[in-house]
Every structure is written in C-alpha cells, then in structure tokens.
Amino acid sequence: MDKLDIRLWTLAAKGEIVPDRSLLKTPEQIRAIKKSADLNTAVLDHVAAHIRAGMSTDEIDRLVYDFTVAHGGVPAPLNYEGFPKSVCTSVNNVICHGIPDEGEILQEGDIVNVDVSTILDGYYSDASRMFTIGRVSPRAEKLVRVTKECVELGLAQARPWGHLGDIAWAINTHARENGYSVVEDIGGHGIGLEFHEEPFVSYVTPKGSEMVLVPGMMFTIEPMINEGSPDFFIDEDNGWTVCTIDDGLSAQVEYMVLITEDGAEVLSK
Ligand code: MF3
Ligand code: CO
C-alpha cells in the first residue's frame, strides 16, 4: 500500500465512496487523452465556425465526421450501441441524444446542443456546446446563459478531496434560483480509456455526497437544464432522442475535466 492507498482506504472506512485506483489516470494516459481532447475541441470549433440558419443537422454530422477523420480520429458516437450518426444534435425541446437528420433545418431562433465525442489512438474525449441560431428569444437566451453559468459554478467546486455532490449542488442551486429544473436520470460519466466509465455523475445530489474527488479522476460535467419540468420521454421511433415531457426548452453544456493536485483542469469544452 502506498500513501494514496492508505488515504483512500481510510476514507472508505469512514463510509465515503472512493474511486477504484483504475479510475485514476497515469501521466502517460493523461498525455494521450489530452491529445484526444484537443481534437475534440477542434471539432467543436469547426462546428462553431460553420453552424448557421438554413443548415440541416445532418450537415453538422458531416462536418464532424469529415473533420474528425481528416485528423486521424473516429467519432465515438458512430455505431455506439447502435447510434447511427457521428454527433448528437439536440434542438430546442430535445434534451440530449438528438440524431442528425437531413430533414431537420436549423431556423433563426433555435437553440441547439452539439455534443462531440472523439476517439484518438484509442483514447476518448467528450464535450458539448450550445449554439443560438440568429436572434433568439430572451427566454431562450437566458436558458443558455444560465446553463453555461451552472457548468462554470460546478467546475469551481471540482477540487481534490471534495465530492461529486459539491458540483451537483452548485449546479442544481443556480438552476433552481433561476426557476429551472435539472434532469435527474441522465448525467455525466467518467471518461478517457472508455466512452463511459464510472462514476455516474448526477447533478441533483447534495453537497458532500457521492464519490470523493481524487487527482487523476476524469469525468464530464454536463447538466441538462429544463425551463419547465425535468421529466422526459424517449422517442419510440428511434429509441434515442430524449425530449422534454412538457415541450419546454432544454439546454446542456458539457466540459470534460481532470482532477489535479490543486484543482481541476478542463480538457475539452
Ligand atoms: N456525448 C454523450 C454523452 O455525453 C454520448 C451520447 S451516446 C451517443 O455521454 F451514442 F448518443 F452518442
Ligand atoms: Co458525456
């Protein structure tokens, strides 16, 4: 047992949830995963430079596929558990897992989440951004702004020997103060060696609860914020698209973070 093992073991003995050592990335793994994350961010920048009204969400899929492959990567969503496209595009009332479609044309006033996940040299990265198409309603604008604030406030709580629940608490508090709700059953995840690793990351759990944060942990901060009910249904036709139950707007922003010795580093956003 080394010093870290003893510290983890002591916390576990006190009833804390601690990560398995396999979830703590080595310096070599971190270097390789950062390359994947840099490509992931570049894909998002490429989308940001081209997204516009009149474009179909399938054109976004093509932008993502072509750019990723041209840079030696593979889009992680493609064929993941049967997902048919290279990216998730979630428009307005779609919470997440929207499937790009040539018949879905972005209109002025839409808000859209583009969720990009990349495999490079076998290492995984994942981040998403909100885009506003042309001029959007003050209502949509505020939801997108508050969602970005939620993720920043969550990130500010991400520190070694804190808890995942500290991040959730900051996010949920800010969302609720603005009259919004946080989706409960879909959340973030560990990432790096696999697309989805332990732990599951909730954004509705109390401060001080859930897994202890330890240097080397990597996971996503990706709350889904709804203007109305947090409840959702999944489109039966495709088994993927998650929609708000009340047809209200939903927004999501995703950062991929690494817990360091003195805080947290954003690897892709
Ligand atoms: N990027 C999504 C996430 O944050 C992954 C969705 S799975 C997919 O977990 F197959 F829809 F891509
Ligand atoms: Co994710």
Contact between 201 and 187 (Cβ < 8 Å): yes
222 marked as part of a ligand binding site: yes
Nearest-atom number in ligand 1 for the CA of 189 is: 9
pLDDT tens, position by position, 246-264? 999 999 999 999 999 999 9
Q: Which of 165, 166, 220, 152 is nearest to 190 (CA)?
A: 220
Q: Measured between alpha carbons, how far is 243 from 245 in angstroms, rounded to an integer? A: 6
Query: Which residue has 């593979």 as its token pair?
Result: 74
pLDDT tens, position by position, 141-197? 999 999 999 999 999 999 999 999 999 999 999 999 999 999 999 999 999 999 999
Which residues are 8's β-sheet partners? none
Give me 132's structure tokens: 């506003």
Q: Is 252 in the pocket of ligand 1 (CB under 6 A)?
A: no
% the chain with pLDDT above 90: 100
Residue to mutate, 60, 78, 81, 83, ligand 1, most ligand atoms under 8 Å from C-beta: 83
The number of the ligand nearest the C-alpha atom of 97 reads: 1
Domain of residue 176, CATH code: 3.90.230.10
Residue 67 lies in a domain: yes
Number of domain units in the chain: 1
CA distances from 213 to 23, 25, 209 (A): 11, 13, 11
Q: What is the largest CA-CA distance in the chain?
A: 59
Q: What is the pLDDT of residue 157?
A: 98
Query: What's the whole-number mean pLDDT along residues 120-133?
Result: 98
* 208 CA → ligand 1 middle, Å: 27
Range of the domain at 81: 23-268
Residue 140 lies in a domain: yes
Q: Is 88 in the pocket of ligand 1 (CB under 6 A)?
A: yes
Residue to mutate, 124, 151, 195, 242, ligand 1, most ligand atoms under 8 Å from C-beta: 195
First to last CA, the chain: 36
Considering only CA atoms, give the Rg of the chain: 18
Q: What is the pLDDT of residue 1?
A: 79
* 31 CA → ligand 1 middle, Å: 23
Residue 157 lies in a domain: yes
Q: Measured between alpha carbons, how far is 225 from 186 in angstroms, rounded to an integer? A: 11
Q: Measured between alpha carbons, how far is 100 from 64 in angstroms, rounded to an integer? A: 11
Residue 5 lies in a domain: no
**DSSP result, 150-185:** HHHHHHHT--TTSBHHHHHHHHHHHHHHTT-EE-SS
